Structure 1
Amino acid sequence: MEQFAAMPLAGWQDTKETLHRFCQVVGKIRLACAVRRNHWWNAPFHVTGRGLTTRPMGQVDGNPIFTIDFDFLGHRLVVTTVDGREVSFGLPGGSVASFHRDTMRALDSLGVRVSLDQPHPFDLPDADRPFADDTEHAAYDPVMVTRYWQILSQVNLLLEEFAAGYSGKTSPVHHFWHTFDIACTRFSDRRIDQPPDADPVTREAYSREVISSGFWFGDPAFPEPAFYSYTAPEPEGLADEPLTPGAARWITQRGGHLAVLRYDDARAEADPRAAVLAFYDSAYRAGARLAGWDIARYACPGGVTDPQLGADQPGRVPR
């Protein structure tokens, strides 16, 4: 299995647009049926050994406990209840409209009642078109979808490794269905008062000072896959800070600065994994230093917080 296989956006853009909307359908079900967590941690998907999962949900809303999984090896959507009942259907060949219909039928057949407040895409060009009316997006290349999941799995573990180095409040490594990226976020204790006109998603996501690290597969604003990091709110002078490796750079996006390492530049490094970890660390240290974080206090080498364990068994888990 090649590490960081080629994944040019142009090679699967139509499939990505369809899959993104499939994920948004399921994501909005997750949002409707899961207990709310701080910073929207309840909403994203998690990577599994075959694809993506919503994790179990229901119960608190009167529904049976159920899980929705994308199987990107068998290319099926699988809905399972806690008592072992299961309904699934194939992903290739269907439109967003048929996917929405089949998903809601699967839930109904299992006794799950879900009403979506906004059954249409979030922050996409066709945000005003209901899922049920979208027969335009129907491309699905199984080879590229499997590759997307394989790369996502590699980045997932890389972000887990990076997350291990920080002992402060840290989000799970999770895949956001609205922006189609995978990320892990470090938090400080500093509260951030958002402007009155900030939308509810932003207000909750950035109610504390954060440094977020992640990866996305490309979009119209940056049409290629890339690793990224940002600090919010952005401290003055951030874009003047050096980044590692040399191919990494700061770009301007949405009025701020984003540290970016192009996926193809990472692939070209002698040790791509080490290069990406160095990139995340350099961007974190730049933001943390300028924002006044106590870097030494929250350092957690090898995922170990106890100094004696760290000295005795660096990088190892005691048995």
Structure 2
Amino acid sequence: MELFPAIPLAEWRDTKATLHRFAQVIGKIRLAAGVRRNHWWNAPFHLTGRGLTTRPMGQVDGNPIFTIDFDFVGHRLHITTVDGRAMSFPLYGQSVASFYRDTMRALADLDVRVHIDIPHPFDLPDTGRPFEDDTEHAAYDPVMVTRYWQVLSQVNLVLEEFAADYSGKISPVHHFWHTFDIACTRFGDRVVDQPPDADPVTREAYSREVISSGFWFGDDSFPEPAFYSYTAPEPERLENEPLLPEAAQWIAQRGSHLAVLPYADARTEADPRATVLAFYESAYRAGARLAKWDIPRLACPGGITDPLLST
């Protein structure tokens, strides 16, 4: 199929809002039932051949080992335990409230008991409304949901290719359910002392220098899908550094700067994949150079560190 097919936010805004909240329900279950990892690497979803997975969780909290999977081809939610028991139900025709109830009921039928500390959306306009009371968000366009997964799958592999060229500490390529983006983060060596009043999500996520690269589908603040990169803490004059291609730019956001390449511009290039890789590389080098990372030492061309092969 076409690389980077069109997915304008206006065509699935209501569906995206519903799906985002579905993802947050399952993400909060993942957060409650899994082993904590540095920088919250335990929290995000990973891509599968049909959608998204939480990966196996449970056991450490007394629950059976279980996995929750979104199937965006058949449009169902699947919950499976390690002993082979399974429950599933359709994603379409659901409000957030009914999805939440069906999920918790299916878990209980599989003898899984998970307590969500804050069963509300995170960092969304209706953050004060419990999932079980949300009958407003109920749109579900299966064509656009499948398109969302297809775009995620394509971007996932571009990010995997970009990740291969770095030999330092680096996150998996993963899909964050709270911000609804897919990203991969390169880490520097320096410890970052966050202010005491920083929230716990920020303190853990940014306890080291990072340069993060990713893609999001657009929201009210930036109403179109785009590739992005940022450096944190942000070095001085980062916004003056050159970016590739010409359509890329630095934009001010929340007191810092984000490198942005609109999806619409990338997909019309002669070689969209190479264009996105060049964008990520230019943004990484801008941040790494100003932060004084040892760029040659951290390079890993072709994903190879074997000194014999690398020469």
- Give the whole-Å Cα distance in 2 for the aligned partners of 1:83 and 1:286: 49
Structure 1: segments with no counterpart, 5+ residues: 312-319
Q: Which amino acid aligns with 1:269?
A: E
Corresponding residue for 1:271?
A: 271
Alignment of 1:187-206 (within 5 A): 187-206=187-206
Give yes or no for the alignment of 1:121 onto 2:121. Answer: yes
**What corresponds to 1:317 in structure 2?**
none
Q: If the length of structure 2 is used for normalisation, what is the TM-score?
A: 1.00
Q: Which residue of 1 aligns with 2:132?
A: 132
CA distance in 2, matches of 1:113, 1:268: 48
Deviation of 1:93 after TM superposition, in Å, equals 0.6
3-state DSSP of counterpart to 1:89 = strand
TM-score (norm 1): 0.97
Pairwise CA distance, 1:306? 1.8
User: d(CA) in 2 for partners of 1:157 and 1:270?
Assistant: 19
Q: Once the two structures are superposed, what CA deviation does each residue of 1:110-161 show, in whole Å capped at 9, x if it has no partner?
A: 0000111000000000000000000000000000000000000000000000
Q: Does 1:286 align with 2:291?
A: no
Deviations 1:200-248 (A, max 9, x none): 0000000000000000000111000000000000000100000001100
Q: 1:316 matched to which residue of 2? A: none
Give the 5 Å matches for 1:1-319. Answer: 1-311=1-311
> Percent same amino acid among aligned pairs?
81
Deviation (angstroms), 1:19:
0.1
Aligned-partner Cα distance in 1 for 2:308–2:80: 44
> Shift of residue 310 of structure 1?
1.9
What is the number of residues matched between the two proteins? Answer: 311
Which AA in structure 2 matches 1:301? P
Moved over 3 A (4+): none
How many angstroms apart in 2 are the aligned matches of 1:261 and 1:116? Answer: 36
Instruction: State the shift of 1:307 in Å.
Output: 2.7
AA at the equivalent of 1:11: E
Question: Aligned equivalents of 1:308 and 1:283: distance in 2?
Answer: 30
> What is the CA–CA distance in structure 2 between the aligned matches of 1:269 and 1:133, rounded to whole Å?
45
3-state secondary structure, aligned to 2:58: coil
Counterpart of 1:225, as a letter, is: P
Cα deviation code 1:87-112 (max 9, x no counterpart): 00000011000000000001000000
Distance 2:96 2:42 in 1: 24
* Matched AA of 2:74: G
* CA positional deviation for 1:308: 1.6
Counterpart residue identity of residue 72, structure 1: F
Query: Equivalents in 2 of 1:283, 1:308: separation in Å?
Result: 30
Q: Please report the RMSD computed on the Cα atoms of aligned residues, expressed in angstroms.
A: 0.4
Output the CA distance in 1 between the equivalents of 2:255 and 2:26.
31
Q: Deviations over 1:65-107 (max 9, x none)?
A: 0000000000000000001111000000110000000000010
State the secondary structure of the residue aligned to 2:107.
Answer: helix
Gaps of 5+ in 2: none
